[in-house]
Amino acid sequence: MSTPSDNAPAAHSAGAAEESRPSLSALLLDPSFWADWASVVGLVGLVIVFGIAQPVFLSVANLQALLLAAAILVVLSIGQTFVIATSGIDLSLAAAVMLGAIILGLVNAAGYGIFIACVLAVAATSAVGFFNGLIITAGKIPDFVVTLGTLSGITGLGLILSGGEPTMVGSTFLLRLASGSFGPFGYPVWVAISAVVVAHIALYHTRFGVHLLATGGQAESAGALGIRTNRVKIAAYTISGFCAGIASLLLVARIGSAEPLINTSLLLNSVAAVVLGGVSLFGGRASILGPAIGALMLTALVNGLTLLNVSAFYQPLAVGAIVVLAALIMRYQK
Amino acid sequence: MSAANHIPASDAIIACEGLSKHFGGIRAFTDVAFQARRGEVTAVIGDNGAGKSTLIRSLVGVHQPDAGNLFFDGRARPFANPDEARKAGIETVHQNLALIDELTVAQNLFLNREIVRRVGPFAFLDRKAMKREARSMLSRLSINVPSINQRVRRLSGGQRQAISICRAVGSGAKLVVMDEPTAALGVQETANVEALIRRLREQSVSVILVSHNLDQVRRLSDQIWVMRAGKMVATVRASETSGNELVALVTGAV
Ligand SMILES: Nc1ncnc2c1ncn2[C@@H]1O[C@H](COP(=O)(O)OP(=O)(O)OP(=O)(O)O)[C@@H](O)[C@H]1O
Ligand SMILES: [Mg+2]
């Protein structure tokens, strides 16, 4: 199983010098260990603290609710991870979720059936991602400028399409998606788990994954070796858009309507989860498990604070503090 | 002796004529005719900024020349990108080595040439096979790195250069292009690379060698081409020249 430290040196040797595994105490004193495992350490820490402060936190019902609430963020964090691995950033992610939701609502309301509505929603958000990648690579424009522009553009588009009004989506399929479960987990959790597995395989076990990291690490060198770095970047943004589409399905299923509102905390938390997951914002270094656990951690934080009756006003503050802390620890990776 | 009256011969593995490359207002090289004979070691020398690296990079598809014709293996063949050049059988050791710091030694050795296992429509990396191959590639060239699972970032300058050379010669290319392959190497390692170039020549692999070390160039190469300020100014047989003549050609003090 690959973790954030998967790329780290292991104890195989090609030459004469044999490399010994660092001892546990040396490992625990090494700041880069804490950086690589920030999300896991943070999650475990939060579970312990909240578990002691409020035993309800550890109840099966609450843990299930927590996972359910984390599903959307996990899916978005995966999309964001692919983009950040290429040393880009997708600021239009939450806006794309809104656009997907609105298209889903409108197509469904027009009587085309829920499946076509879902497919069109995901196709639209994937197209947004493709468009982002195309403009960034063809126009040689910085990622955050383009995706900031798309963020604004999609917001307008969403408002125009929806007339600023929410659309109710009464579909038994989506209702079952939101409330049904298989085994211990609700369907949205399974969707998130599948996304993690597929993304993990794509990143670690395919040529695309290596080329993605190479593009993010040193695009010029990757290009000199024949990797089509522009295509890789466009693919990463398209994946991000696709993930936004899946998230929009989960979102509409969860709230039962398509709202022309952008949940900016989804965007910020997706970046935060990626940072917590030990992914380098400079590209070239990534994992899927790390950001997924980072997303879980952020959700657990909000969940725990709510159980402790901490005002919702304090939650963004807590998230911000944790992300800055993680970024500080991350500096030791260098 | 002038480069201008050289016509691409039939025994050329790679040849170009009238090749030019500009970056905005900067002329990297203009109207260059050049060729490398099959099975020979062809050297390109010249002062810093003469345009050697840019010429090399234009031959192997990294840059698109603005004008001129390129022939490879007897055919008119400009490469639209480095991938096409590699597929045609050209491997390059770039001056900047083209290594990816965050990837491991094994991943770098197989970058864009990964070994995959097919499962239905999918292709998964065969990491075991790549690691095994990487080990044997390195040991064949007696290159010492602490581990093939080590990130390239942590290797020394010489080790990095060795990895880049290993990648270029380890795959059975028809033409190996080396841009200052011994720049960061110690005495022993330089000797190893020179032996390696001789071995390639014995295996009738064609080599293009860019170097500032004129003694090395005279030791290793069959034909020497001289660039000065973006022009190909001369070409001589290595056996028919002297160090003094080469210095004069490079500096223009003829
Ligand atoms: N990508 C680029 N953009 C702009 N100018 C470039 C680029 N690459 C090379 N040049 C310019 O082209 C000229 C030739 O550079 P080149 O790297 O080919 O020289 P060189 O002969 O390899 O020198 P050295 O011996 O120092 O490696 C230089 O003036 C350089 O500044
Ligand atoms: Mg050079």
- Domain region containing A303: 34-333
DSSP, collapsed to helix, strand or coil, labels residue A185 as: strand
* pLDDT at A291 > cutoff 90: yes
Q: Domain map of chain B by residue range?
A: 1-89+176-254, 101-173
Q: How many Å apart are CA A303 and CA A43, to the nearest integer?
A: 12
Minimum-distance CB partner of A221 among B98, B144, B154: B98
Identify the pLDDT of residue B9: 63
Asked whether residue A40 is assigned to any structural domain, the reply reads: yes
CA distance B99 to chain A (A): 6
By three-state DSSP, how is residue A167 classified?
strand
The reported pLDDT for the residue numbered A208 is 97
| A247 in a structural domain | yes
Give CA–CA dist B66/B59, Å, rounded: 12
B20 touches chain A (CB under 8 A): no
Q: What CATH number labels B1-89+176-254? A: 3.40.50.300
Nearest CA distance, B124 vs chain A (angstrom): 5
Q: Answer whether A221 sits within 8 Å of B94, measured CB to CB.
A: yes
Cβ-nearest to A217 among B62, B102, B116: B102
Tokens of B58: 């234009």
CB contact under 8 A, A227 and B83: yes
List residues of A whose CB lies inside 8 A of any B CB. 7-17, 19, 201, 204-207, 209-211, 213-214, 216-218, 220-228, 280, 284-285
Q: Do A14 and B135 touch (CB under 8 A)?
A: yes
- Whose tokens are 């978005």? That residue is A76
Give the position, in ligand 1's atom list, of the atom nearest the Cα of B23. 4
Residue B119 pairs with which residues in a beta bridge?
B122
Residues 6+ apart with CB under 8 A from A57: A47, A50, A51, A303, A304, A307
- As a dihedral over the C-alpha atoms of residue A96, residue A97, residue A100, residue A101, rounded to 10 degrees, the angle is -140
Confidence label for A228 from pLDDT (cuts 50, 70 and 90): very high
Number of domains comprising chain A: 1
Residues 6+ apart with CB under 8 A from B131: A12, B106, B148, B149
Q: What is the pLDDT of residue A15?
A: 38
Q: What is the token pair recorded at A89?
A: 């950033």
Residue B12 or A24, more confident: B12
Report angle CA A209, A212, A214 to the nearest 5 degrees: 110
Domain assignment present for residue A28? The answer is no
B87 vs B73: CA distance, rounded Å: 13
Q: Is B23's C-beta closer than 6 angstroms to any atom of ligand 1?
A: yes
Q: Is B50 in the pocket of ligand 1 (CB under 6 A)?
A: yes
Bridge partners of residue B16, in order along the sequence = B34, B70
Helix, strand, coil % over all residues of chain B, rounded to 5: 35, 30, 35
User: Is residue B178 within 8 Å of residue B147, measured between CB atoms?
Assistant: no
Residue whose CA lies nearest to ligand 1 atom number 14: B51
Per the CB < 8 Å rule, is A9 touching B101?
A: no
Mutual orientation of helices A60-85 and A93-109 as an angle, nearest 10°? 110
- The interface predicted TM-score of the complex, written ipTM, equals 0.90
Query: Closest Cα to atom 6, ligand 1: which residue?
Result: B23
Q: In whole angstroms, give the CA distance from residue A240 to residue A126.
A: 7
The 10s digit of each residue's pLDDT in A232-272 is: 999 999 999 999 999 999 999 999 999 998 888 899 999 99
A150 domain-assigned: yes
The ligand that comes nearest to the alpha carbon of residue B45 is 1
Q: What is the CATH number of the domain that holds A181?
A: 1.10.3470
User: How far is Cα of residue A300 from the mean position of the Cα atoms in its chain?
Assistant: 15
Query: Residue B133 and residue B166: Cα distance in Å, rounded?
Result: 12
Query: Has residue A163 been placed in a domain?
Result: yes
In this model, does residue A17 exceed pLDDT 50?
Answer: no
Smallest CA-to-CA distance from A226 within B206, B173, B75, B185 is with B173
Give the amino acid at A93: L
Q: Does B51 contact ligand 1 (Cβ within 6 A)?
A: yes
Rg (CA), chain B: 18
Cα A281 from Cα A83, distance rounded (Å): 10
| Segments in chain B forming alpha helices (H) | 52-59, 82-88, 105-109, 127-140, 157-169, 187-202, 214-220, 243-251
Q: Give the pLDDT score at A100.
A: 97
> pLDDT averaged over consecutive 10-residue blocks of chain B (254 residues)?
49 94 93 95 96 96 94 88 95 96 96 95 96 94 89 91 93 94 88 92 95 94 96 95 92 80
Residue A27 lies in a domain: no
Residue A174 burial (10 A CB sphere; 0-12, 13-18, 19+): buried
Taking an 8 Å cut-off on Cβ atoms, the answer to whether A14 and B134 are in contact is yes
Of A36-45, A163-172, A181-190, A193-202, least confident by mean pLDDT is: A36-45
Average pLDDT, chain A: 89
pLDDT tens for A52-91 read 999 999 999 999 999 999 999 999 999 999 999 999 999 9
